[in-house]
């Protein structure tokens, strides 16, 4: 007898993700809601999935990617759906659109609701146009809808709405903080997916390191990364726009956008900072590798790189449940200041440098952020956790105390950003620590970031990312690649 276990799978070596992952997410959500004294008996969670969109006024479709909260709850890949959960029983319902006859001509087979019920292992599936009557038949005391601010973007999540909702009692306050809190702690099944996204993205970064040659364009590296992620990993999307900065572009924190689209030629002596992550079944990864384009670090490149690696490893050693994330940021800052002093760029007492926030001149961003279905995952600032309004620290996307099951990026960096350096040189309280003669050598140097994804474990952490990290590992890996056949011969041999 064969036993059918619903799952998401793209064949070959891609990961099979059981629908049970979402059943457990729903169960955890219901458990939390039942423990909330403001939730009355017979409440129903109602969520609206993402909608299909077109390019501006045209009929050109944009590849659909599910809304993250809806994905976390139901794992449904199709657009234009709704989902509901009976909080008392945990029973789940998905509502799918009734597709027109023309769909069968242009888009393919129209599936019966039973197909979706089996595919997503939910209790009931109905057509969307029956939503009012189906929900009314359950006689809910209240519909819990999702409305709340995303603390990274400032945007508000779109609350479920349908014709006929006015006949129900609706509460849009309770659900958002509860579901965000659930998303902060990853289950074992979710961790397994994040291990996979990290594995594939790590391998893709290594392909890029193997293939790079002076004279290539930054976008060729972006393209190679995406190709590897999709062809080997089934990752149709990346978690964010690829940042492929070489030379001074490595100090542009969000390089790669439409105004600076990874279009520089990689030159001899350039340091490359490539921040790229593939996404599988809406689960993210976020990895940065920094390495010399020609495969060999200069003494200055090595010094800055090893300073950042030192702070990264110091943070990883300190991570465990109970540690406050801002303290990890402060730790990285301190290591940077100590190392920059050894290199000779800074002079004086490190404690005094900390007092004037000198670290934020070299690392203006936060040390890292929560990672999950969103690359900057939700739940960073729940009620009671406040943003620290100081240079550097204010950029942190979370100021929480770490708990087992949280997944975060650890991404310290040292950058030489003209605007910030000039600002520091014009501020006597900061310029007194700067050895400007040495600093001049690092103008146009760019920057170094080392970004890994980690999971907080019971007694420490688990490192999910696996790429060459030390100077020796990187140089050996790149040297070996130069002498061997490339996996992407046709791409690499054009140059
Ligand atoms: Mn990141």
pLDDT tens-digit map of 421-442: 999 999 999 999 999 999 999 9
pLDDT tens-digit map of 25-56: 999 999 999 999 999 999 999 999 999 999 99
206 C-alpha to center of ligand 1: Å?
18
Spatial distance between the Cα atoms of 208 and 223, rounded to a whole number of angstroms = 9
Q: Closest Cα to residue 74, out of 40, 46, 109?
A: 46
Backbone φ, ψ for residue 33 (5° rounding): -65, -40
- Residue 151 CB partners (closer than 8 Å, separation 6+): 378, 380, 381, 397
- Write down the pTM of the prediction: 0.96
Sheet with 452-456, edge to edge strand ranges: 407-410, 452-456, 461-463
Residue 4: predicted pLDDT: 72
DSSP 42: T
Spatial distance between the Cα atoms of 229 and 287, rounded to a whole number of angstroms = 13
Sheet with 243-246, edge to edge strand ranges: 243-246, 271-276, 287-292
471, pLDDT greater than 70: yes
28 C-alpha to center of ligand 1: Å?
27
Residue 2: predicted pLDDT: 53
Residues with CB under 5 A from ligand 1 (ion): 286, 409
279 C-alpha to center of ligand 1: Å?
14
Spatial distance between the Cα atoms of 377 and 16, rounded to a whole number of angstroms = 23
414 C-alpha to center of ligand 1: Å?
15
312 φ/ψ sector (left φ>0, alpha ψ -120 to 50, else beta): alpha
β-pairing, 142-144 vs 43-48, is parallel
451 C-alpha to center of ligand 1: Å?
7
Spatial distance between the Cα atoms of 26 and 199, rounded to a whole number of angstroms = 27
278 C-alpha to center of ligand 1: Å?
12
The DSSP H or E segment spanning 95 is strand 92-96
β-pairing, 413-415 vs 447-449, is antiparallel
DSSP 302-330: HHHHHHHHHHHHHHHHH--TT-BHHHHHH
288 C-alpha to center of ligand 1: Å?
8
168 C-alpha to center of ligand 1: Å?
41
- Would you place residue 5 in the very low, low, confident or very high pLDDT band (cuts 50, 70, 90)? confident
In sequence order, the β-bridge partners of residue 96 are 127
pLDDT tens-digit map of 266-298: 999 999 999 999 999 999 999 999 999 999 999
Establish how many alpha carbons lie within 13 A of residue 415's alpha carbon, considering only the half-sphere containing its beta carbon. Answer: 27
450 C-alpha to center of ligand 1: Å?
10
pLDDT tens-digit map of 150-207: 999 999 999 999 999 999 999 999 999 999 999 999 999 999 999 999 999 999 999 9
Do 337 and 354 contact (CB within 8 A), yes or no? yes
Do 176 and 146 contact (CB within 8 A), yes or no? yes
How large is the greatest C-alpha to C-alpha distance in the chain, in angstroms?
A: 78
167 C-alpha to center of ligand 1: Å?
44
Q: Closest Cα to residue 309, out of 446, 441, 471?
A: 471
**Using CA of residue 217, residue 221, residue 224, residue 226, what is the dihedral sign?**
negative
């Amino acid at each position: 007898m064969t036993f059918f276990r619903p799952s998401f799978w793209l064949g070959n070596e891609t990961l099979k993700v059981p629908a049970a992952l979402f059943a457990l997410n729903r169960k955890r959500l219901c458990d939390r809601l039942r423990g909330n004294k403001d939730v009355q008996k017979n409440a129903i969670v109602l969520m609206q999935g993402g909608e299909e969109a077109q390019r501006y006024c045209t009929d050109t479709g944009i590849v659909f990617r599910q809304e993250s909260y809806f994905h976390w709850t139901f794992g449904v890949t199709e657009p234009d759906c709704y989902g509901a959960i009976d909080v008392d029983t945990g029973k789940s319902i998905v509502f799918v659109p009734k597709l027109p006859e023309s769909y069968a001509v242009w888009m393919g087979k129209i599936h019966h609701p039973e197909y979706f019920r089996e595919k997503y292992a939910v209790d009931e599936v109905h057509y969307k146009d029956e939503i009012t009557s189906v929900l009314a038949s359950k006689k809910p005391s209240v519909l819990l809808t999702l409305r709340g601010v995303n603390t990274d973007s400032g945007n508000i999540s779109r609350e479920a709405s349908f014709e006929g909702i006015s006949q129900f009692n609706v509460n849009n306050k309770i659900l958002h903080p509860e579901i965000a809190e659930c998303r902060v702690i990853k289950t074992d099944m979710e961790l397994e997916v994040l291990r996979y996204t990290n594995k594939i993205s790590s391998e893709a970064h290594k392909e890029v390191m193997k293939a790079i040659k002076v004279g290539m364009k930054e976008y060729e590296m972006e393209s190679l990364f995406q190709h590897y992620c999709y062809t080997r990993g089934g990752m149709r999307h990346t978690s964010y726009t690829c940042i492929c900065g070489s030379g001074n572009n490595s100090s542009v924190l969000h390089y790669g956008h439409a105004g600076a689209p990874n279009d520089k030629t990689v030159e001899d002596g350039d340091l490359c900072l490539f921040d790229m992550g593939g996404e599988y079944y809406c689960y993210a990864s976020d990895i940065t590798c920094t390495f010399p384009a020609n495969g060999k670090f200069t003494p200055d490149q090595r010094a800055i790189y090893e300073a950042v690696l030192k702070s990264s490893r110091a943070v990883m050693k300190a991570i465990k449940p109970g540690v406050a994330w801002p303290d990890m940021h402060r730790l990285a800052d301190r290591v940077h200041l100590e190392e920059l002093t050894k290199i000779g760029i800074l002079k004086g007492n490190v404690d005094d440098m900390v007092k004037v926030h000198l670290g934020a001149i070299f690392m203006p961003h936060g040390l890292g952020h929560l990672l999950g279905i969103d690359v900057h995952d939700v739940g960073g600032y729940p009620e009671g956790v406040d943003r620290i309004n100081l240079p550097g620290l204010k950029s942190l996307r979370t100021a929480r105390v770490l708990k087992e099951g949280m997944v975060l990026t650890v991404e310290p960096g040292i950058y030489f950003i003209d605007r910030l350096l000039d600002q520091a040189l014009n501020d006597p309280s900061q310029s007194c620590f700067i050895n400007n003669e040495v600093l001049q050598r690092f103008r146009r140097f760019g920057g170094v970031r080392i970004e890994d994804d980690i999971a907080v474990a019971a007694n420490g952490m688990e490192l999910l990312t696996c790429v060459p990290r030390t100077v020796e590992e990187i140089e050996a890996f790149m040297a070996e690649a130069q002498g061997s056949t490339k996996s992407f011969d046709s791409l690499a041999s054009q140059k």
